[in-house]
Structure 1
Amino acid sequence: MKMFFVTLKEKRAILNSFNNIVEVKDDRNEYSYYLNENNTFKLVAKGFNEGGDGYIFNDKLNEYNNSNDGWVSVRDFTARSLRELLQNTVDSNLH
């Protein structure tokens, strides 16, 4: 089965489809994403750039081959996998 990986534009669209996530672009043309809950902002995704890199924080999941610090590289994720991980991250930060 052939896997289709997503571009930066597609990743940004997925991240921005969540109403409680705020996108911030830095001076290196990288995007970070903050969960806005009750006017408190928590970094949940970082390092999204044209090279395909990007990381989502989720220290509660072991199935995503995350690093010891909880950041999961989504470089080669499909759109579905990216959306599922992000939804899980948002849900786990709201409870």
Structure 2
Amino acid sequence: MLTFEQKLAVISKFPELERKDVSLGRVNFHYEQSAYDKKSVVYHLHPNGNGFVFAGKLHGYETDDKGFVNIRDFSADALRTLIEASIRSLAPKSTEELAIVGDAEEERWTGPDNQTLLLVNEDELWYVYAGLSLEMAFDTYEEAEAYLKEEGFARL
């Protein structure tokens, strides 16, 4: 288990997060540029090493009813990966993403070299976009998901 100071060192490397000291020596870190009302990425990091990271918009993490993951036993790499994903999940959509997605259902997938692809459901098809470029189209979500996983991508 990482100590409080070790976790602070990992979290402090994210310049987009703003530290907020709260009661009982605990620390929160906010992402002020969040596209959502949710701004807390790290919540109640305690001097005993316990704390929480927001993963409410991510897949593959066991969250509480508010969307937070307990990070007590996380390694430095696991903590860094979770925080990166949390920030990306809260980030405003780029102009490219807005042009492609509009009001359609979409998911972000990340893969090798931190490349992000969008999976968009539109007109009963599933489209995979890299930036403004259409990469692939699929009849079902399952086909698109299998393709993305085969290419080394994971859903945010």
TM range (shorter): 0.7 to 0.9
What runs of 5+ residues in structure 2 fail to find an aligned partner?
A: 94-156
Q: TM-score, with normalisation over the residues of structure 2?
A: 0.53
Question: Which one scores higher on RCO, CA 8 angstroms, separation ≥ 6?
Answer: 1
Q: In 2, distance between residues paired with 1:93 and 1:41?
A: 8
Written as runs of structure 1 = structure 2, the 5 A alignment for 1:62-73 is: 62-73=59-70
Q: In 1, distance between residues paired with 2:40 and 2:3?
A: 21
- Corresponding pairs, count: 90
Q: 1:41 deviation in Å?
A: 8.3
Q: In 1, distance between residues paired with 2:59 and 2:72?
A: 17
Confirm or deny that 1:79 pairs with 2:76. yes
Percent of aligned pairs with the same amino acid: 24
Provide the alpha-carbon RMSD of the alignment. Answer: 1.9
Written as runs of structure 1 = structure 2, the 5 A alignment for 1:15-94 is: 15-37=11-33, 42-94=39-91
CA radius of gyration, larger in: 2
The list of structure 1 runs, each at least 4 consecutive aligned residues, that deviate by more than 6 angstroms after superposition, is none
Q: Which amino acid aligns with 2:19?
A: E
